[in-house]
Every structure is written in C-alpha cells, then in structure tokens.
A and B are shown apart, each in its own frame.
Chain A
Amino acid sequence: MPGVTVRLFADLRTVFGVRMVDVPLERAPDIACLLGLVCDTPRRWQAVFAEPGVPRREIAVLVNGRNIRFLDRLETKLCEGDEVAIFPPVYGG
C-alpha cells in the first residue's frame, strides 16, 4: 500500500509516539485532511496547530522536501507515494 508516508521529527516523535505513519491516500487527499487525521489527540493537535485551520508558525510541514508554504499550504494536494515531513523548529548546523 503506497499511500502517503508521514515522518515526524525531533520532539514530535515523543508527542506522537511514532516516527512514521502510513496513511491511505483516500483518507488524506490534501494536507488539511492529513494533519486532521494524524493530530488525533489534544496533545498532538496542540503540537502542530496554533488555532483551528492554522498550523503553528514554527512548525514546518514539507511535502517531498518542499514546505507547504511554498505550495498550496493546507490545500496542498497529495499523491500516491508522497512523503510528508513534520518538523518542530530545529536549529544549529
């Protein structure tokens, strides 16, 4: 089942308790649906969203390495095999 792969990084791994989730495409045709699906507890939701429909400014959501801010934001459509990465702020190379 290819679907969409969601990878969580850094401290979000602790919040979500997993590093990776596979989601069938029909349940997550776009980023809004996908985030709604994976942020299924108050703690998870708070880690990603500032308010309903608005992800926290410091959270980076990338589809195949492109930040959704440079795509269609929450409306960014997803395709089979897409990789979605969710990062809290990390600094320091």
Chain B
Amino acid sequence: MTMDGWMGKVLRLDLTASAASVEDLDREIAEQYIGGIGLGTRYLYDEVDPAVDALDAANKLVLATGPLTGTGAPGANRYMLLTKSPLTGGIANSSAAGDFACAIKYAGFDVIIVEGAAERPVFVFIDDGRVSFHDASELWGLDTEQTEQAVIAATAPDAKVNCIGPAGEKLVRYACVMNDMGRAAGRSGVGAVMGSKRLKAIAVRGTGGVTIADGERFMDAVRRCYEALTDPYVEHFHKHGTPGVLELVNTYGALPTKNFQYGTNPQHEDISGERLAETLSVRTRMGMACPACPVACGRVSRVGAGETATYGVGPEYETIGMFGSSCYTNDLEAVTRANFICNQAGMDTITTGGSIACAMEMYERGLIPEADIGFPLPFGDGEALVRLTDMIARREGFGDLLAEGGYRMAEHYGHPEYSMGVKKQEFASYECRAIQSMALAYATEPRGACHIRGEAQDYAIYSVLHWHITKDRGIEEPLDPLTLDEQPEMVMELQDWFRIIDSGGLCNFMFYLGMDEDQLRDLIESATGIDMGGYPGLMRTGARIFNLEVLFNRRAGITAAADTLPPRMLQEPLPDGPAKGYVAELGRMLPPYYTARGWDEHGDLTPQKAAELGLQLAAGT
C-alpha cells in the first residue's frame, strides 16, 4: 500500500549477522502512534524485553522519524532514538534535528531498527535502498567530528552521518549520539547502547522525497505555520539562541546554583546569553539552522586565540546552566571547553554537568576524599571541571566512576541524596522548587528528569499562552510558577501534547515560538491523509504514547515509587530568591495527577483506561 507522509518502510539492521531487511510499516500502527517517539516506543515495547541489560546485544536501538520529517514544514527535521536506557534502566528517547533525520526519509524509510551486536567495530552505509556494512576498526577512538568526516570520505559526499565518539565506545552511561557536526541526541545514554553494539556510525544517502496526501491543504498549513513564526521576538531567539533565557530563569530563582543548593546565582551576568554573544560567539549575525527552519537558533563559539583557538557548536542554555551555574564556575570559557569535549566525545552535557556538580558538593562536604579524585574539586574550579569532563569521556581515574552517572557515584559513597535527578537521570537546568509544575513534570517523566518532553517552564516563566492547555482554561496571563492550581491536569496535558510534537518529527522550538496544536494536526493530517479526531483525538494519541512508555518502564521494574524527587527538593526550603521558603509540593500534586491520568492509587494504568486509549495489548501487564 502506498503511504503519504510516511515512507511505508522499516529497515532492520542485524549487526550480529551483518544483514539488512526491509519490512512494510503497519499503517494501522502508524496511524495510532504517528512516528518519532510514538512509533519508536511501540516498536521498542513490542520487540525488547524490558528486563534485558541495556548494554546487552538483546537490547535494540530504534531510530524513528515522523511523517513530517523532511517535508519542508517548519522545523520538521527530527528523528528520535529509542532504546532501553543504561542510565535509568527504563525507556530512553532522545531526539536530534538535522540533515541526517531527513536523509532517513529520503532514503525511503520511516524507522531503522538496529539489533544484535557486531563482533568488531562497524559502520553502516544506507545508500537509498542499498545497505552495506563496513569495518570501523580504524575509526574506533576518533571523536565525533573526525568520525563524521571520515565516514563521509569513505561513503559519499552527500551522505549524512550520525555517530558515537569515545564516550559511547567506552559505555559512559550518558553518552549521546551526534549528527551533522554538532547536533545531539543527548540524553539517557543512547550513545552507550550504540557503543555496546560496536556500531560507530550510520551514514545515510537519500535522494528520494516525501509524498504528501493533500498538497494544497498541506501548503496552506505550512504557510500559516510560517506566519505564526514571524513574531518579532523570534529575532531575540535567533540572535541569542537558548542562552538568552538564563537571566530570566535566574530572576525567577530557578537557576540551579551549586548543585541545586540555591536558585539564584549572584554572578549570573558572567554567563548570560549576552555575555556569550559579546565574547565567545563567532557567528551571531547569522545563526546556524537545521533544515527547513526559519529560526536558526544555533551558534558557533571559539575558545582560545590564534593557532590554538578551537571552534565548536554551542553552548546551549542547559550546558551553561549546569557547567556554569550548578558547578558555579561562572566562566563561559570553561563552560565552552567542557561543552566541546562533550560534543567531541559524544556525551550529554546536562548529565555530565549535573554529575560533576554533585561530586563538587560531596567533595566540599568531605564525602569524597581528594585522593579518590586526584585533585581538589571545589565549586567554581573551571580547570578541574574541564579536566574531569575529559576524564569521564576517557573513563580515566575518578572519571570512570562519574561515567556511571551522578547517582551511582553518590551511591558508591553512601550518599545518593546528593544526586539531583529523577530515575538516576540528572535534572535539567531548572530548579523545581521555584517552578512547581516542573517538580511534577520531572518526577513523572518516563525517561527520568527532563525539561523537553513536557515543557512546564513554557507557561510558567516563558509566557507561552497560545496552546489549548492554557487557552481552553481561559488563562490569558502567565501562571504563577509557585501555584499548584490545575498543575496536575496541565502537566499531564503538556506531556501528552509534546508526545505529538515528538511524533510528528518537529522541533519543539517552533511551538513556543508560535505554532499550536491545531496547526500541527493540520500538517499531520494533510501530509498523511489521516483524521486524528480533532484536538481530543490528538491528545488521546499523545496519552496513548505516554502510557505505553510508562508500561515499558513498569515491565522494566520501574514502579510509581520512582516518580519522586531528591530529599533536597521535597524537604529543604529553597534558601534564596523569590521562591525562598518553598519546597517542591510533589505530594500534593501526584495523587491528583494519577487520577487525571486514569491510573489507580499505585500509579498503574487501569484496564478501563487502557481500553479507552486503545492499548489492549497493555492490559494485564
């Protein structure tokens, strides 16, 4: 059957046998799960025993595009990597933008499933429909930039590449997968799973295109989306990218400082987006854009001067928040150096920064002897930060222990309470005692602490008020970030709504910059020809996907007891800033959240709710 929007094909790569096979995409499943996070979760749920060790050959890596990926709709340039996470032991889903994602579609596939493990390092070349396996022994040990260049040189000049760096090879539990010279599928250790399979890179050359069901309606929808993205403030985002928010987050008292001991950083100006633009950024007038993006939020920075200068992509707000404020270096040069190491080694900057901040606090409290680290590790020591980041990437000395993640490191010393995260994954750069909705979103996100699968910060501090979530409630002004009113329902709706963004294959940023649910639905429906059932149907699909992720976790042994926060968030009132005196009121939000989800009091999906969501397969699990 021909399909529009979707390519209708799934490519299966068996690394153990060096064999590739192609299957049809099941249209019914595609309609129920759309693509990206949805379709990927469904494949993972169906095919991977959640009890397997994440780094065992029995785990699989699913690369899933959305029906809009590569269509030219604004920001429709993403793919999602899904697997069982070596960091959390639950579901991992990590997405990246770039040409690589579009190339998968242009080569004729919606989904690539990587299974088994190669005996020796390999890379795979997908040249339109032809697949070949290549020895990558010579590439093993190369950083991500070198790898990308080498793989392009070995395949085709127009091949698009994703790959791991040394961190993925060494199974750093939060290694990421990089593509297109600096875009990262960052979180939850997807790069370690790729490393465990000895898969160094995937190169894709695609020369086809995506067919659209209703071209006229689609082009009309695309035009309206572009119109929604002409807000003059898009300009600020274009100029400063994500670091432009740092001062606002600090003003709200939500900037993690010294491993989340404080919510404001007196030296925040030293690490602001503007300071970055004035000092290290080298491409501020014309940012870097992913395909089909009218915003171009990326930027290039330089550290050092003359012949020793190094250039790279970033740093993003999250990276500055963790390396700059949570580690309290307040030094953009150190932040950027650590960022470049992470990019080259292929390592998540958020968990790297969060884990080092945790080690810094424990060092200062005398809980980690200096002899174990090999050098002093106080907050604010930029040199130690850069050195330790490099040691983690190499799993050298104390870096070997930190490569296990902040939680396992802190647990090793008998003090897991100093690890700031959820489900063993570090918080993003938002202090959740100052944004109560964030506390609930962090605690309940299936992949562990995360800020982008349900962006509770958007309506709480960024004045994003054009989605149904606020409009349908008559909310016309920003919500007090300290209020608990309606948060359980709103966070649930956000999580479900973001499942659709991440299924379609679009960049989140399009949505807080102007696009809404109806526009996205219009794009998906006109591209694929399906009827999503209006806004309620869209949200039901989002809920179906979210619940399936939770079911994967339950089968992996992660119960609702893991929907919690570190004791610091729950018991220690924030000592500073506008949220001074507040703790995260999770206990008051969680029961109504479970009720809103239609779960029982233990946080488990009820058979009725499963049936309502069309999750018959899940009943009884």
Contacts and interface: CB of A to CB of B under 8 A. Distances in A.
Interface of A: 9-11, 13, 57-58, 60, 62, 64-67, 69-70, 85, 87-93
B242 interface: yes
Contacts, number: 87
B330 interface: no
Contacts of A57: 463, 465, 476-477
B242 A89 contact: no
Interface string B222-247: 00000000010101110011101101
A89 B458 CA distance: 11
A8 to B, nearest CB: 10
B578 A65 contact: yes
B513 interface: yes
B480 A65 contact: no
> Per DSSP, are chain A's interface residues mostly helix, strand or loop, or mixed?
loop
A66 B578 contact: yes
A6 B244 CA distance: 19
Contacts of B240: 10, 90
A70 B480 contact: yes
B498 interface: no
B251 A91 contact: no
A35 to B, nearest CB: 17
Interface string B286-300: 000000000001000
Listed from nearest, the 8 A-B pairs whose CB atoms lie closest are: A65-B578, A70-B480, A92-B242, A93-B317, A89-B233, A91-B512, A93-B245, A85-B251
> Per DSSP, are chain B's interface residues mostly helix, strand or loop, or mixed?
loop
Interface string B473-500: 0001110101000000000000000000
Contact of A65 (B233, B429, B577): B577
21 contacts: A9-B247, A10-B236, A10-B247, A11-B233, A13-B274, A57-B463, A57-B476, A58-B233, A58-B463, A67-B478, A69-B480, A70-B480, A89-B231, A90-B248, A90-B462, A91-B245, A91-B462, A92-B245, A92-B317, A93-B249, A93-B451
Nearest to A11: B236
Contacts of B235: 11
Nearest to A92: B242
B242 A93 contact: yes
Given A11-B236, A93-B242, A62 B251 contact: yes
Given A92-B241, A92-B244, A93-B428, 11 more contacts: A9-B247, A11-B236, A58-B463, A62-B252, A70-B480, A87-B248, A88-B233, A89-B462, A90-B462, A92-B317, A92-B509
B464 interface: yes
A78 to B, nearest CB: 15
Given A85-B251, A90-B248, A92-B241, A60 B463 contact: yes
B233 A93 contact: no
Contact of A67 (B318, B480, B579): B480
With a 10 A CB-CB cut-off, give which of B236, B458, B577 has the most chain A CB atoms. B236
Nearest to B483: A70
Interface of B: 231, 233, 235-237, 240-242, 244-245, 247-249, 251-253, 264, 274, 297, 317-318, 321, 428-430, 451, 457-458, 462-465, 476-478, 480, 482, 509, 512-513, 577-579
A93 B578 contact: no
Nearest to B252: A65
With a 10 A CB-CB cut-off, give which of B237, B251, B253, B317 has the most chain A CB atoms. B251
A13 B430 CA distance: 25
A66 B251 CA distance: 8
A91 B478 contact: no
B477 A69 contact: yes
Contact of B251 (A11, A65, A89, A92): A65
Contacts of B462: 89-92
B288 to A, nearest CB: 15
Nearest to B576: A65
A7 to B, nearest CB: 8
Given A58-B463, A67-B480, A87 B237 contact: no
Contacts of B464: 91
A90 B233 contact: yes
Given A10-B240, A62-B251, A93 B297 contact: no
Nearest to A64: B578
